[in-house]
Amino acid sequence: MNVLGIETSCDETSAAVVKNGKTVLSNIVLSSLRDHQKFGGIIPEIASRRQIELINTVVKQSLSVAKCKLSSIDALAVTTHPGLIGSLLVGISFSRGLSHVLQKILVEVNHIKAHIYANFLDQPQPPRLPAIGLVVSGGHTALYYLKNHLDYKIIGQTQDDAAGEAFDKVALILGLGYPGGPAIDRIAKSGQNQKIKFPVAELKNSFNFSFSGIKTSVLYYTRQCPPKDLNKAKVAYSFQKSVVDILIKKSLAACQSYKVKTLLIGGGVAANSELRAELLKQAAAQGITVYFPALPLCLDNAAMIAGYAYQLIKKK
């Protein structure tokens, strides 16, 4: 079964064709990121206007790369939540129109669940379920217990800012530009130190997260530190280490609590090199197998939407 997926939940415009929920035949992603960089964040109206301009081209390109005609598409899938309302409407409206013309089923997909499902795409051996899923991105930080592809239970989530948002805000404080995640990851490699410590809320006896306090801690530190003594790389390293440590601690604790040996990571922050390296090391010591999507599948993309839709279609 070939599913054409469409994703427009934030600033990306993406279309993909996925076969049988696992083989990615195409995955085209165009971003309006450059249009937002001077503002230090996503401007919803700019994002949706660019998506209106791009969506037809992106869908045509995805079909071309997949070497599929519209007549070869068995079903359509589209992100319907969560996301920016204007951006979501672009994808939903386009998909509904195309579904009506083609007389093909249209599947509505939850963007967060699809991020976890990205781990099942192009895998020679798919991850074993049940599992714990960690979605960590600019807008979301949450832990899920997955009994199967259709049974998701949220067991913890951020009580304020998402981890990715904290990366963006700290990068802004340090003058590193937007988006902040890649910039902090890059310079933190040369800033290793044990002297600077930034506290992160533990929220004990729960799997919830909180990242607003560490943002404030970094801000106060930079304000009090004389400019000549401010080492941005060391600040970035210490901030990143605190965030990564709490993500790992809560995720592995959830695996132990639910007695599962599979941990699935999804979302933009899943591309962070420190998180990947340290989580793989600590999880292996506890006998837990960790899966990260391929880097292009960590960011918002339509392949994960089409892939997860296949599982929803099988249920019907």
In a domain, 257, yes or no: yes
**What confidence tens digit (pLDDT) does each residue in 205-238 have?**
999 999 999 999 999 999 999 999 999 999 999 9
Residue 182 lies in a domain: yes
Same domain, 89 and 115: yes
Which residue's structure tokens are 């490699």?
189
> Which CATH number goes with the domain that contains 60?
3.30.420.40
Per-residue model confidence as pLDDT tens digits over 88-98: 999 999 999 99
- Averaged confidence pLDDT in the chain: 96
Residue 125 domain-assigned (yes or no): no
Task: Tell whether 34 and 71 lie within a shared domain.
Answer: yes
Residues 108 and 147 in one domain: no
Please check whether residue 261 lies inside any domain of the structure.
yes
φ, ψ of residue 240 in degrees (nearest 5): -60, -40
With respect to residue 307, please indicate whether it lies within any of the assigned structural domains. Answer: yes
Question: What one-letter code names the amino acid at 135?
Answer: V
* Residue 37 pLDDT exceeds 90: no
Specify whether 249 is located in the same domain as 271: yes
pLDDT bin (cut points 50, 70, 90) of residue 34 is confident
Residue 126: cis peptide before it, omega within 30 degrees of 0? no
> What is the total count of domains within the chain?
2
For 308, the enclosing helix (H) or strand (E) is helix 302-315
Mean pLDDT for 154-168 is: 97
Residue 104 tokens read as 């093909």
Other beta carbons less than 10 A from residue 128's beta carbon: 11
Q: Above pLDDT 70, what percent of the chain?
A: 100
Based on its alpha-carbon atoms, the radius of gyration of the chain, rounded to whole angstroms, reads 20
Tell me which amino acid residue 134 is: L
Give me the domain span that covers residue 172: 131-293
Same domain, 153 and 249: yes
* CB within 8 Å of 181: residues ≥ 6 apart: 138, 164, 167, 168, 171, 268, 269, 271, 272
Task: Give the integer Cα–Cα distance in Å for 212 and 180.
Answer: 16
Are residues 145 and 257 located together in one domain of the fold?
Answer: yes
User: How would residue 292 be classed by pLDDT, with cut points 50, 70 and 90?
Assistant: very high
Cis check for the bond before 293: say yes or no (omega within 30 of 0). no
pLDDT bracket for residue 316 (50, 70, 90): low
Average pLDDT over residues 109-135: 96
| Residue 38: band (very low, low, confident or very high) from pLDDT cuts 50, 70, 90 | confident
- For the chain, what percent of residues have pLDDT higher than 90? 93
Q: Which of 39-48, 72-81, 99-108, 169-178 has the lowest mean pLDDT?
A: 39-48
Q: How confident is the model at residue 100 (pLDDT cuts 50, 70, 90)?
A: very high
Residues 167 and 246 in one domain: yes
Q: Based on the domain organization, do 161 and 65 belong to the same domain?
A: no
- The two tokens of residue 293 are 């999507």
What are φ and ψ of residue 148, in 5° steps?
-155, -175
Q: Is pLDDT at 126 greater than 90 in this prediction?
A: yes
Does residue 42 lie within any of the structural domains?
Answer: yes
205 shares a domain with 79? no
126: in domain: no
Amino acid at 19: K
The answer to whether residues 208 and 72 belong to one domain is no
Within 13 A of 307's CA, how many CA atoms are on the CB side? 27
Cα angle 169-170-173, degrees, rounded to a multiple of 5: 90
pLDDT for the residue numbered 41: 84
Q: Is residue 284 part of a domain?
A: yes
Q: Is there a single domain that holds both residue 43 and residue 86?
A: yes
Strand partners, 77: 5, 107
Q: What is the pTM of this model?
A: 0.95
The pLDDT of 278-299, averaged and rounded, is: 97
Residue 101's CB is within 10 A of a number of other CB atoms, namely 9
285 and 306 assigned to the same domain: no
pLDDT attached to residue 88: 98
